[in-house]
Amino acid sequence: MNLLDVQHLKKYYATHKAVDDISFSISKGSIFGLLGPNGAGKTTLLRMITGIFYPDSGNILFDGRPFDTLTDMKNIGYMPEERGLYKKKPVAEQILYLAQLKGMDKKTAQARVNYWLDKFELQPWAKKRVEELSKGMQQKVQFIATVLHEPQLLILDEPFSGLDPINSNIIKEEMFSLAQKGTTIIFSTHRMEQVEEICDHIMLVNKGHKILDGSVKQIRQDFKQGLFRIGVGVMPNAAQMATWHFTIVDTLDHSFIVKLNEDSSTNDILSHFIRQEIPVTFFEEILPTINEVFISQVQKSSSPEALLQQA
């Protein structure tokens, strides 16, 4: 079942189409990557999902029913890119206050504050003002404040900003743990390697439009270019490599990168090496990274022809 269904959402500012007819769904317990260059419409989209902005048109369904700001906001945790902590307020007191704003009773909230501070090794700083903490520690405090009330939908906008590799890994593992327990996560970032590692499903937006939407695995398959890496025990001569089944793209140390030609199959590549008695040590398909797909599709959607079609 889907936790969130967004249907034909639009938000215009004068003549600027910040979000222009975007639809997508997010299943419960999944980690959904929201991608796009600066100014693509991601923040406006997130603010409509959280009830901060009202859409000009379209519908948002939360757990199968129309989104209600007063009711459903308590079931959402939103960690924006621009952090929202009170710098003069002590850490534990601040988290407790924010939890109570989400409707938690003080006793339950206090127990969870202690649990999370212990888990993130922040208990020694519980009575320190936020401004006394490092940027990475502030980030962890912001994360705790976002997840403390155990939201059904967790929205994380650049959650790894300012974190060292160790603390980044802590947050990443918590994301996996929360998803396994049923929390649905929207993860917005510019770091494509994290998207590929963390997300089940992604959506790419540019200039207010949805460019692509699908599982990470399927998108990489959809944009593959017929490239393969082949390792050999002995480097063959040019005559042995002559074939119409593939084109050599690059020659490396005891390996080749080849591109499959039209009307040929992967079996044709392997059969050629067998016929030529070239010992194969490994054979693997080269799939594009999400970063490569991101760059190619953003450039394509920003072309004059694409912009003319969107007008």
What is this structure's pTM? Answer: 0.86
What local confidence, expressed as pLDDT, does residue 286 receive?
Answer: 95
What is d(CA 309, CA 45) in angstroms, rounded to the nearest whole number?
22
What local confidence, expressed as pLDDT, does residue 248 receive?
Answer: 94
In whole angstroms, how large is the CA radius of gyration of the chain? 24
Cα angle 261, 265, 267; round to 5:
130
23 contacts 6 by C-beta, under 8 angstroms: yes
Mean pLDDT, residues 179-184 taken together: 95
pLDDT at 311 > cutoff 70:
no
- Domains with residue ranges and CATH for the chain: 2-221 (3.40.50.300), 225-286 (3.30.70)
Q: In which residue are the tokens 């399927």 written?
A: 218
Confidence at 308, pLDDT banded by 50, 70, 90: low
Query: Helix, strand or coil for residue 250?
Result: strand
pLDDT at 118 > cutoff 90:
yes
DSSP 89-130: SBHHHHHHHHHHHTT--HHHHHHHHHHHHHHTT-GGGTTSBG
DSSP 143-206: HHHHHTT--SEEEEESTTTT--HHHHHHHHHHHHHHHHTT-EEEEE-S-HHHHHHH-SEEEEEE
Mind listing the pLDDT tens digit for each residue in 248-258?
999 988 999 99
Long-range contact set of residues 211-218: C-beta below 8 Å, sequence gap at least 24: 211/297, 211/298, 211/301, 212/293, 212/297, 213/24, 216/33, 216/290
Confidence at 86, pLDDT banded by 50, 70, 90: confident
Mind listing the pLDDT tens digit for each residue in 259-306?
999 889 999 999 999 999 999 999 999 999 999 999 999 888 776 655
DSSP 23-37: EEEEETT-EEEEE--
What is residue 269's DSSP assignment?
H
Mind listing the pLDDT tens digit for each residue in 29-50?
999 999 988 888 899 999 999 9
Beta strand 153-157 with 184-188 is parallel
pLDDT at 307 > cutoff 70:
no
225 contacts 293 by C-beta, under 8 angstroms: no
pLDDT at 198 > cutoff 80:
yes
What local confidence, expressed as pLDDT, does residue 135 receive?
Answer: 85
Mean pLDDT, residues 107-118 taken together: 94
